[in-house]
């Protein structure tokens, strides 16, 4: 017997949160390591498309394994959400030549997305808004810090100068 339940908000949160964490980490790692906004945009777009497709396929397969009747829809929603959030984080690098200003804008966009998403989630299921919001913010910041450190270490040990 197939399960008829679907958790569409879960598919949205999965795509949104994974994009925030991974794309913010990738963009921050590059922004703090290189000063080439076109390289940041190119890498961001490539990673966004690859990861968005991967997220869509992974959620589809997970839902299919759980015998969800909405596996295809949930997979597509996860992938589209991932791509939309990724685009929002990349856009500031197309709008200014100042990489630091673009990174600041991307962080502000990420914070706004986190606040709006958590507001919707907490309103729908009664969870604690600030607890969830701070948890998501801390995760994004920690991943960005780790990505920055990796970028700096890569520059140093690989001798990469861009």
* pLDDT of the chain, 162 residues: tens digit per residue: 444 445 677 888 889 989 998 898 888 888 877 889 999 999 999 999 999 999 999 999 999 999 989 999 999 999 999 999 999 999 999 999 999 999 999 999 999 998 988 888 777 777 788 888 898 889 888 887 887 788 778 878 887 766
Q: Could you tell me the CA-to-CA distances from 162 to 29, 35, 107, 127, 159 in Å, in that order?
A: 13, 8, 23, 45, 10
User: Is 83 inside any structural domain?
Assistant: yes
Tokens of residue 96, six digits = 């200014």
Give the model's pLDDT for residue 1: 43
Q: Which residue has the tokens 């969870």?
A: 127
User: Is 140 inside any structural domain?
Assistant: yes
Nearest partner of 90 among 51, 135, 134, judged by Cα: 51
The H or E element that residue 97 is part of is none
User: Is 27 inside any structural domain?
Assistant: yes
User: Is 3 inside any structural domain?
Assistant: no
Give the model's pLDDT for residue 97: 93
Question: CA 155 to CA 162: how far, in whole Å?
Answer: 9
> How many domains is the chain built from?
1
The H or E element that residue 44 is part of is helix 37-65
Residue 34 near residue 96 (C-beta atoms within 8 A):
no
Give the model's pLDDT for residue 14: 87
Instruction: Indicate the length of the chain as a whole number.
Output: 162
Residues spanned by the domain of 82:
8-158
Tokens of residue 161, six digits = 């100068």
Torsion on CA atoms 12, 21, 29, 57, rounded to nearest 10: -50
End-to-end C-alpha distance for the chain, whole angstroms: 56
User: Is 2 inside any structural domain?
Assistant: no
User: Is 124 inside any structural domain?
Assistant: yes
Give the model's pLDDT for residue 140: 80
Give the model's pLDDT for residue 161: 66
Give the model's pLDDT for residue 108: 94
Give the model's pLDDT for residue 2: 46
Q: Which residue has the tokens 């520059």?
A: 155
Residue 52 near residue 79 (C-beta atoms within 8 A):
yes
Tell me the pTM: 0.83
User: Is 145 inside any structural domain?
Assistant: yes
Tokens of residue 46, six digits = 């490539």
User: Is 1 inside any structural domain?
Assistant: no
């Amino acid at each position: 017997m197939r399960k008829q339940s679907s958790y569409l908000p879960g598919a949205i949160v999965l795509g949104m949160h994974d994009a925030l964490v991974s794309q913010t980490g990738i963009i921050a790692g590059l922004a703090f390591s290189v000063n080439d906004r076109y390289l940041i945009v190119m890498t961001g777009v490539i990673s966004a498309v690859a990861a968005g497709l991967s997220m869509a396929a992974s959620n589809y397969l997970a839902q299919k394994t759980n015998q969800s009747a909405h596996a295809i829809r949930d997979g597509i929603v996860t992938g589209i959400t991932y791509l939309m959030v990724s685009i929002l984080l990349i856009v500031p690098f197309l709008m200014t030549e100042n990489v630091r200003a673009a990174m600041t804008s991307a962080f502000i966009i990420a914070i706004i997305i986190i606040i709006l998403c958590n507001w919707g989630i907490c309103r729908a299921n009664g969870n604690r808004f600030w607890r969830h919001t701070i948890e998501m913010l801390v995760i994004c910041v920690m991943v960005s810090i780790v990505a920055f450190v990796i970028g700096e270490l890569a520059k140093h040990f690989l001798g990469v100068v861009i």
